[in-house]
Chain A
Amino acid sequence: MERTYIVGDLDIKVLSSSLGAEFVQIPSKQSFSSSEIHNFMVSAFPLEIKCVVLDVESNPSFCLDLAMHIRLSLCDLGINALCPIVLLTNLGIKTLLSVNSNSQIVLTDAIYVSSIPELRDRLNGLVRLRIEDYHRVFLSKISINPPSVSEFDNHGLANEWGASALYRAVTGSFHGVPDCEALREARKQLYFKYVITRSSDDIQSLALQGKQVVLKDYIQDHLTVPAHGRHVLLIDDMANRGWSYVLGLILRGAKIDIIEEKVRDYNDYSPTAKQMIQEGEYDLYILDLRLSGMDEDAVTDPMSFSGMKVLKEIKKVNRGRQVIMFTASNKAWNLKALMHPSAGANGYYIKESPLSSFSETVTRKNLSAFCKEVETCFQRGYLKQFFDINMELYPLSKKKDKSIQELYSQMNIAFDCADRAITKEQFKYAFISLFQVFELLIKNLTQDNRDKEPGKIILQLKSRLAENEFEWQDAIAIHQDSSSRIKSKSELSPSRSILMRYRGEKFAVHERLSAIYLQLLKEEDKGLLCLLWEIIEMRNTIIHGFDPRKSPYSKAAVRKSEFYETYKHLTVFEEASLKAIIDEMIDKEMIRMNNDRLTQSSYPYRFHCSAAKSRIGIQLALYCLCYFFNVYKN
């Protein structure tokens, strides 16, 4: 049921009684903040509003501010925001227009001026504002300045707006009640309401959705990132002004740590903050460009921004760490500096400000782009491993051992390739670069001895006895046959003929690597062999364009027992472990078991090397390499 409300001092209450209106008393106070007026508005009008009468003489500024709040509160009042408003006063129009900056509302539609004697008659002829006319007769006629002009204050409300804009994108509207006090308070500000309505793509929906509805849990999943188990560090002096909350909605399930200190330089941080930066293991760092809480617009060199200095420190610990910069700056040279390899940011997001706010559609697009960048950063987490290995090798590379220097150099090349990889081809190239590290390992740690036993080629491994002392130990032996590699099937079992055809006169890469890992390093987890096999397959697919239809294995059907027989002669394997390997390879679908026959798997993914699969290959390779260096260095 619609009610007429009369707002004023206590002496006006008698008027409301005579008109059958609800009386609302203005609190006794010198001045009211925007939040206070908003809170008053929300509590003053519990029912549907037919009309609001504001007794200007009770408090001219308050009444005009309240009128503006009512009109701009489509989110909070719904269509009640369109109610006719009567300014009860004996003041002339010109005087009314001079009261404060919100006096401009007097010149908009559905605002009436009346004295007390005329009020009863006036109440009969009131017309509501129509939502279709809202923009034309109201919004386009007013202008609300930000509470602090942008040049004066780059933080404060601007930050809340940026976070709120993201909140709107994630939840689909401003009608939700964010579980964040900073955002709830910001939305009570008149300027905030003004920007909300101006930036809305659909004012009608904004009004017709009605009063605030608790939509705390309504999140548009397609504009979020699944991040369970991920650990994120947010470095922003305004983190608790809404950013940590909204990022928590976007990065679903992530654990988000915060550093909120204001600093001009990394060295200004507290020991706790420095420890988090130096030692923390985070999947993603989100870092604001300006951390000092003061204006940094006078900074002309992008590298002098407080955030850039912290970025440098983050990357100094590990170049593989993934960092997305948050910036309110849309200056092209700043953004270019962020992404330059010397700075090392892996992405950036431009924080909206009230003065450069985007439409809802553009905000959603920006959010979508941000989510993609986050996902890419999560995928690139393996780069940290890369850099860890590099750091391990670095002191070793200072020694005069050329093989180690070669390894270090190749790792650097592979890291740079992986760091810059964006396209499918670039990832493949990065993978091949990394695979060359394995080839260097093979080159340095294995040799084929053809002299030790005539008629046999023996794969030998370089085993370290002491600091600079090595010996060659036997690993695998094959029979040498220089006349013909392919024996007739009558002479060899089918499995051996396949093996001989494929191997030729040298040991296969997987055999060499298996020997290194299983014999040299005495690795007990035979599953590692499967990983090596996958990496080799991937390398061959990329280099040779491996076609499954032409694979010699695709038509081969080898009995499990024969397969087992084939590999039995490899001294590196023990019988029990070989069985475990075969079982694991079956589990991983690398080979299939069908009626006791093993066939090469035709699982298609293995032969199509997409960027994603190359990335997985890099991760697998790194895992193997990490293992190698962890054990070998000891």
Chain B
Amino acid sequence: MIYLFDDSPEESRRKYIDLDTYRDVIILFGSITTSKLDEIREQLLEASCILIHRSLRDADNPNRNDVFESILDISNMGDSIPLVVFSGEDSEEAVFDGDTYIQSFNKTCLYENLAFFLSSFAASRVIDLKTLVHGERIQSRLALNEGVVILKKLRLLNPNEPFDATIIEGQDLHSLVQRASPTLGCSYSDIITEVKTERISASEFIRRIRSIIDSFSAYGKNIYRWGS
């Protein structure tokens, strides 16, 4: 079960998600007292994930945030239970501290992606915080991240000359090729071999990578074969 702690009014949340639809996977708490937190502590320790608003105040004393601090302790800052701290004033770019703790994430973005995150969790019972960060566009975002790393390695090279394959070898190309498959029509090692043997120019390689990234941006998937 995922626990959401946010004292925002329900009417504003409904603009993005009707949490009743996901009551099998998520429980919402507004601000709660420290005594109430003690009551639910045991079940909270079994949580799959905790999402908590940074400015959550104690229900019995709006000048204190003991509940917020306690929940962070319960999750052990993401080590025991995946934890996401969000706020309206945070950046759209999530700040990860490891894979299971997001230190800051924009509140609006969170709610925009929450439905997709909950659906994914309901289907797989696996918590992937990247799903919450990127939502339905997760494939295109990850493709962009991987593609940008690759392009960065090539941009200062002579565009018309072949280049050393070791420049592009690495996890990012591997992940991008996997993501773009099977439509891409070749494997990571195929590409490395091609670069080594057929001596593709830097500009041509950049063009092909850009096609893949653009395809993900436009369609959420790759529609191109390698080299097309």
Contact = CB atoms under 8 A, between A and B. Distances in A.
Interface of A: 9, 11-12, 14-15, 30-34, 56-58, 60-61, 89-92, 94-95, 97-101, 115-117, 145-149, 151-153, 156-157, 261-264, 268, 292-295, 297-298
A117 B144 contact: no
A11 B8 CA distance: 45
Contacts of A94: 214, 217-218
Contacts of B31: 294
Contacts of B148: 56-57, 60, 91
Contact of B63 (A156, A261, A295): A261
A153 B210 contact: no
Nearest to A34: B91
Interface stretch (B72-80, B92-100, B116-124, B184-192): B92-100
A618 to B, nearest CB: 42
B109 to A, nearest CB: 9
Contact of A295 (B9, B151, B152): B9
Contact of A31 (B61, B94, B156, B210): B94
23 contacts: A9-B152, A11-B152, A30-B95, A31-B91, A58-B152, A60-B144, A60-B148, A90-B155, A92-B210, A95-B210, A95-B217, A98-B140, A98-B144, A99-B144, A100-B93, A116-B156, A148-B88, A148-B107, A148-B108, A151-B8, A151-B11, A264-B62, A295-B8
B221 to A, nearest CB: 14
A57 B90 CA distance: 23
B38 interface: no
Nearest to A297: B9
B93 to A, nearest CB: 4
Of the candidates A14, A15, A56, A92, the one having the most CB atoms from chain B within 10 angstroms of its own CB is A92
Contacts of A34: 91
Contacts of A116: 155-156
Interface string B8-38: 1101100100000000000000010000000
Contact of B88 (A58, A89, A149, A262): A149
A149 B106 CA distance: 11
Give the 4 A-B CB pairs with smallest separation, nearest first. Answer: A148-B88, A151-B12, A31-B93, A262-B62
Contacts, number: 119
B57 A294 contact: yes
Contact of A149 (B12, B93, B104, B214): B12
B88 A153 contact: yes
Contact of A152 (B62, B107, B210): B107
Given A147-B88, A148-B89, A262-B57, A92 B213 contact: yes
A12 B156 contact: yes
Nearest to B14: A151
B225 to A, nearest CB: 18
A152 B8 contact: yes
A153 B152 CA distance: 39
Interface in B125-175: 137, 140, 144, 147-148, 151-152, 154-156, 159
Contacts of A295: 7-9
B75 to A, nearest CB: 20
A91 B213 contact: yes
A151 B9 contact: yes
A293 B57 contact: yes
A298 B30 CA distance: 14
Given A94-B218, A98-B137, A153-B8, 15 more contacts: A30-B95, A33-B90, A56-B148, A91-B213, A92-B210, A92-B213, A95-B213, A98-B140, A147-B89, A149-B108, A152-B88, A268-B61, A293-B62, A294-B7, A294-B62
Contacts of A58: 152
Nearest to B143: A95
B206 interface: yes
A99 B94 CA distance: 14
A152 B62 CA distance: 17
B218 A61 contact: no
Of the candidates B11, B63, B93, the one having the most CB atoms from chain A within 10 angstroms of its own CB is B93
A57 B213 contact: no
A9 B156 CA distance: 12
A365 B90 CA distance: 34
B163 to A, nearest CB: 14
A90 B88 contact: no
A99 B88 CA distance: 20
B92 A101 contact: yes
A293 B94 CA distance: 26
Nearest to A296: B9
A292 B218 CA distance: 46
Nearest to A92: B214
A466 B93 CA distance: 83
A14 B15 CA distance: 49
Nearest to A191: B89
Nearest to A93: B214
